[in-house]
Structure 1
Amino acid sequence: MVQMLMLALLMLTSAGAGFYWLEPNVLNYADGVWLAFTTVATVGYGDIVPSTPASKIFAVFIVLFGYAMFSIVTANIAALFVGKEEAVLERELHADIRALAQELAALREELRRRESPLPQNEA
């Protein structure tokens, strides 16, 4: 999860540099990162918009990459919840198996006692 967030941050900062390099309306790196963020978040453009064909194509790839990153982060969060539920179920199953093993041992002991010949009184 942390790796995914770090990858998303790296992608956002790299996209900011890409927009700073490709888009003449982006006057500084911070504006490039802002444009990258609004592109990835798909909130729509406001003060800065891609205007050159290269920056528009770049924006398309950034949006697609943003969708992928969002999907991966969402899947990781879901996996955490599923993993916790699986751990609970696994503990319950192990407890049931231990109880069954104890019951089986008790039944075997009962069978042994019933099968063994009773001591006879020799009088």
Structure 2
Amino acid sequence: MTRSRRARIHLIRRGLLYSLGLCLLILLIGGIGFWWLEPGIHTLQDGLWLAFTTAATVGYGDLVPRTSVGRAFSVLVVLLGLAVLSLVTASLAALFVEQEVEQEERQIERELMRELHALRRQVSALQDRLDRAHGANPPPQEPQ
């Protein structure tokens, strides 16, 4: 694996970790926000659940924001959640695509190396033929 490929995979993995970390941070802030803003959310666990279902746009309906401030906050959680979850999905997809592209590149490299070896054998055979032909009739030497 070349250095640039390793660097690309490292960046993709690091991007995935960053986006997962950002996702967890948004969910944590969302959970704390719902727990603090909504009178019907009594535990942090319920706030985190509401933040997750809101950010993922699942909305099971078991917990919902009731106040206007909670609903406005849920809009923010939805927008941030969609953006960050899209980043996580894109990072995962890029990781899988990079691995597939790497396999294709290795296959192309092997084929090119086979063709290069075949060309070297052909050039060597042609050189041998030229050497034999000139051995019978040496080329005239240029005067110096």
Q: TM-score w.r.t. structure 2 length?
A: 0.72
Q: Does 1:118 align with 2:129?
A: no
Q: Could you tell me how far apart the structure 2 residues matched to 1:38 and 1:100 are?
A: 56
* Bigger Cα displacement from structure 2, 36-45 vs 86-95: 36-45
Residues 113 and 47 (structure 1 numbering): CA distance in 2 closer, same or farther, change over 3 Å? Answer: closer
Paired residues in the alignment total 120
Q: Does 1:59 align with 2:71?
A: no
- Name 1:36's counterpart in structure 2: 51
5 Å matches for 1:82-121?
Answer: 82-116=97-131, 117-119=134-136
Q: Does 1:26 align with 2:38?
A: no
Instruction: State the Cα RMSD in Å.
Output: 1.9
Residue 119 of structure 1, CA deviation: 4.9
Specify every segment of 5 or more residues in structure 2 that has no aligned partner in the other structure, as ranges: 1-15, 138-144
- Name 1:14's counterpart in structure 2: 29
What secondary structure does 2:26 align onto? Answer: helix
* Bigger Cα displacement from structure 2, 3-12 vs 81-90: 3-12
Identity within the alignment, %: 43
Specify every segment of 5 or more residues in structure 1 that has no aligned partner in the other structure, as ranges: none
Larger relative contact order (CA 8 Å, sep ≥ 6)? 2
Q: Could you tell me how far apart the structure 1 residues matched to 2:112 and 2:60 are?
A: 58
